[in-house]
Amino acid sequence: MTVVDIRSIFSQRNIELFEVNSSYIYYAEEKNEEGHNNLFILEYNRSTRRERLVTNYTLEDPTFVEHLFAFENTLVLILENGSNSMWLIEIDKNSGMELNRRKVVCTGAFRSCTALDSEHILIYMGPDEANTEMFKRYSEVTGCECLCYMYDLKTNIKHFIKNPLIAKLGTDNIKQMTVRDEKYLILLDPFADEDIKRGYYEEQRWINADIRDNIWLCRLEEFEKQLEAGAENITKKCIASADIKALARYMGIDGDKLFFRAKEFRTGIEKICSYDVFTNSLNVEAELNIPDNDTMYIIEEKPFSVFSVRSDNRNTSVTGIINSSAELTYKSELGSFMTCIENRYIVTQNIVTDNETNTEKRIYSIYDSELDKSESYECNCCLKGNTLVLY
């Protein structure tokens, strides 16, 4: 495990990390200077331990919210204030120069966005006062609450997405993975929350609708070309589906494998399954026992791992179930289990309330099971693979 401690650099500063790689850490910082809101985009060199200003902007609208996406050579900055327009800015990582700047106007009010790659951005727009009736009719026809657009930074063309599945999903239900240098999208289409779906199962004799969870997979390049062509249907493969009697939910990614949780409501049997994108093989990785009041399962999404955690007032025991062989115990006073790295280091979190100021502070601890030693830090924490960033 590598610990990158940059608390001294960020002391008394409000920053947001948006990329951690093997050489650099990229982050954004907002400051109010002389009555102006300024956004600074900075780079921390992990080798030289020096900070470099990539670029900065004066935010003319104090309500602007920034969305930052990092790629190999570029950064994409989106500034929006919840209205029908936003700024899309492409920045060279090395020089800080603007490569592209466009004001994009869409129908409705901004809801969310995500970058598919360095050239394509998905934008979701919801109802606003000027288009209430239009969105109402659109929802009645498609079942979707939002309009979706794909913006091409290379051609500066905005494409309206006609596919109702993409419009329905939203950014939280679109994941990305790379398998043998080919990029894929994972499209998550759960029917509803687990408790709601279980309620439908219990009343299924009165229900005729197709109540179903689906997990779809598609190639990113093909997906983008089809959307650019205005296709209403996209080429996709269903890798998991569960009707009203069961549940299928995405859990995470590791290497070529996509992991999901499958549960049968009648028996309560719950399994973690994997789908290998390269070999197209589907396997059951583990069956989860129904936990008691003292046991819980902790799942890390990327890279994927599953731990069984059992706690009492004195000790917490951690057992690795998938992608971990850990069999460790630490003192419960260190806090709630977050993850285990290299089957040796345990990271925990404690939230402490200051009664005088009525504020919360977060204390992160790293327990080394081989040395039976722990260190605690009052700061923010970001975990990327086997790298833990303290700031």
> How do the pLDDT tens digits run along the chain, 391 residues long?
888 988 888 777 788 999 999 999 999 999 988 888 999 999 999 999 999 999 999 998 989 999 999 999 999 999 999 999 999 999 999 999 999 999 999 999 999 999 999 999 999 999 999 999 999 999 999 999 999 999 999 999 999 999 999 999 999 999 999 999 999 999 999 999 999 999 999 988 787 888 999 999 999 999 999 999 999 999 999 999 999 999 999 999 999 999 999 999 999 999 999 999 999 999 999 999 876 777 899 999 988 999 999 999 999 999 999 999 999 999 999 999 999 999 999 999 999 887 777 888 899 999 999 999 999 999 889 988 888 899 8
**Is 253 part of a structural domain of the chain?**
yes
CA 27/CA 15 separation, integer angstroms: 6
Q: Are residue 34 and residue 128 in the same domain, yes or no?
A: yes
CA 192/CA 190 separation, integer angstroms: 6
Predicted pLDDT of residue 211: 93
The two tokens of residue 363 are: 């204390």
Residue 227's SS3 state is: helix
Residue with token string 């360095």: 118
Q: Are residue 111 and residue 216 in the same domain, yes or no?
A: no
How do 157-160 and 174-179 pair as beta strands? unpaired
Task: Residue 326: count other Cβ atoms within 10 Å of its Cβ.
Answer: 20
Name the nearest CA neighbour of 323 among 263, 270, 255, 389: 255
**Is 20 part of a structural domain of the chain?**
yes
Predicted pLDDT of residue 13: 78
Alpha carbon 57 to chain centroid, angstroms: 26
Q: Are residue 282 and residue 296 in the same domain, yes or no?
A: no
- DSSP states of 259-314 as a string? EEEEEETTT--EEEEEEETTTTEEEEEEEEPPP-TTEEEEEETTTTEEEEEEE-SS
Predicted pLDDT of residue 365: 95
Number of domains in the chain: 3
Q: Are residue 264 and residue 207 in the same domain, yes or no?
A: yes
Predicted pLDDT of residue 1: 85
Q: Are residue 137 and residue 212 in the same domain, yes or no?
A: no
The two tokens of residue 139 are: 């929802």
Q: Are residue 257 and residue 314 in the same domain, yes or no?
A: no
**Is 166 part of a structural domain of the chain?**
no
Q: Are residue 236 and residue 180 in the same domain, yes or no?
A: yes
CA 191/CA 45 separation, integer angstroms: 44
Q: Are residue 335 and residue 220 in the same domain, yes or no?
A: no
Name the nearest CA neighbour of 316 among 341, 289, 347, 286: 347
Q: Are residue 188 and residue 238 in the same domain, yes or no?
A: yes
**Is 213 part of a structural domain of the chain?**
yes
Is the separation of the CB atoms in 69 and 76 below 8 Å? yes
Task: Residue 282: count other Cβ atoms within 10 Å of its Cβ.
Answer: 12
Domain end, chosen from 160, 192, 211, is at 160
**Is 167 part of a structural domain of the chain?**
no
**Is 168 part of a structural domain of the chain?**
no
The gap between the terminal CA atoms of the chain, to the nearest Å, is: 17
Q: Are residue 334 and residue 284 in the same domain, yes or no?
A: no
Domain end, chosen from 248, 274, 290, is at 290
**Is 108 part of a structural domain of the chain?**
yes
198-205 contacts, C-beta under 8 A, 24 or more apart: 198/265, 200/244, 201/244, 201/245, 201/265, 204/244, 204/245
**Is 145 part of a structural domain of the chain?**
yes
Q: In which element (H, E) is residue 53 found?
A: strand 50-59
97-116 in b/e form (b: 16+ CB < 10 A) is eeeeeeebebbbbbbbbbbb
Alpha carbon 64 to chain centroid, angstroms: 22
CA 219/CA 185 separation, integer angstroms: 6
Phi/psi at 83 (5° precision): -95, -160
Q: Are residue 198 and residue 278 in the same domain, yes or no?
A: yes
Predicted pLDDT of residue 7: 86
Domain end, chosen from 232, 256, 290, is at 290
Residue with token string 């504020």: 359
Q: In which domain, by residue range, is 72 found?
A: 9-160
Cis peptide upstream of residue 303 (ω within 30 degrees of 0): yes
Q: Are residue 156 and residue 198 in the same domain, yes or no?
A: no
Predicted pLDDT of residue 291: 67
